[in-house]
Amino acid sequence: GLPSLKRLSIGSYCFKEARFEVRKMESLETIQLGSSCFEKSLHTVIEDCPKLKSVNVKQNALRGVKSDK
C-alpha cells in the first residue's frame, strides 16, 4: 500500500471503464478526479480513510454510465 499518501489526484479522461476503489488509506486527506474519470464505473468504494477531508469530482466523473457494448 501507500501508507503515507496524502493526496490522490487523477487527471481528466483516465480509467473511463474501470472501478474506483480506495480502501485503508490511513493518511489520505484529499481525492481529486478530473473530468470523465471512471465515467462508466458502476462500482465505487471509499472506505477506511480516517483523515479524508475532501473529495473533488469534476464533470462526468463517476457517472456510472453503462457501456455501449
pLDDT at 69 over 70: no
pLDDT tens for residues 29-66?
A: 999 999 999 999 989 999 999 999 999 999 999 998 76
- C-alpha dist (Å) from residue 22 to 14, 46, 56, 63, 68: 16, 5, 14, 17, 26
- C-alpha dist (Å) from residue 66 to 3, 16, 41, 42: 33, 11, 8, 8
Question: pLDDT class for 68, splitting at 50, 70, 90?
Answer: low
**Average pLDDT for 13-20:** 93
Question: pLDDT class for 19, splitting at 50, 70, 90?
Answer: very high
- CB-based contact 45:68 (threshold 8 Å): no
pTM of the model: 0.88
